[in-house]
Amino acid sequence: MGSRLAAKFMPFMPVPFSSFNGESVGSSRVIEVPGDARGPGRVTPPEPPMPPKVPTAPRHSFWNAPENVVGKSELGNALSDLGTNPLGRNLNRLEEFGQGAGFSGVIDVESGKFLAYASGETKLANGAAPLNLVEQFGGHQQVNTALSGVLGNTSTNRLGFSLVLDAEGNFAVRFNSALNSANPNVLARTVPESMRQQILDAISKSTGKKAYSAQ
């Protein structure tokens, strides 16, 4: 009788198991065997490992982004006020073109940033075709798509315009574009006179050249 009671009430110590009831529990888990005074056995899983921290890349403001962030491909033979030192870059660009060179430009009204690509039959002074050449008709949409990529957003609050390099090296600017019809503040092909000064100022400031309305 004594041996039977000893067998019944003898406590069981926790022991490691690699499997329990046919299920793998891992060598780090501990099984409390049923039958002691504390009630049913319990399986205590190990603490899950902490996930490694992923470094967060710094965010760039494309409105004042360095040229290597903006991307040289978007600025190839282009006029713009994007990136660093736009004045110096644009003066170098203008040396590549001659009188009569035409550009299709788009300005983002909210940020004040613009981008203009050579258009139509425009050639470099050496006779080669410029990079980022767009069509004379429909080119504004191509420029707008590129500007959206650089700024990282799309917007209907943009204005399309064209500029031609005159004999004095200044810009004659016109304000007609189908893009303007999509702007809820315009809803017509032609930019209203009250909205033109922002375009002229942006061109003059970033090129050091006079920009004037030719219509």
Distance CA 173, CA 37 (A): 93
SS3 letters for 179-200? Answer: HHHHCCCCCCCECCHHHCHHHH
Q: State the burial class of residue 147 (Cβ atoms within 10 Å of its Cβ: 0-12, 13-18, 19+).
A: buried
Q: State phi, psi for 115 to the nearest 5 degrees.
A: -145, 135
Spell out the domain ranges in the chain: 2-44, 62-213
Q: Which of 151, 1, 31 is nearest to 80 (CA)?
A: 151
79, 73 Cβ separation under 8 angstroms: no
Distance CA 175, CA 163 (A): 9
Q: Going by DSSP bridges, is the β-strand pair 211-213/171-174 parallel, antiparallel, or unpaired? A: parallel
Instruction: Write down the pLDDT at residue 69.
Output: 40
Looking up tokens 């035409």, which residue turns up? 102
Q: Going by DSSP bridges, is the β-strand pair 43-44/102-108 parallel, antiparallel, or unpaired? A: unpaired
Instruction: Write down the pLDDT at residue 199.
Output: 98
Segment holding 43, helix H or strand E = strand 43-44
Looking up tokens 């039958």, which residue turns up? 35
Q: Which of 157, 160, 151 is nearest to 199 (CA)?
A: 160
Mean pLDDT by 10 residues, the chain (215 residues): 47 46 46 50 64 46 38 84 93 94 98 97 94 93 95 96 97 98 97 98 98 96
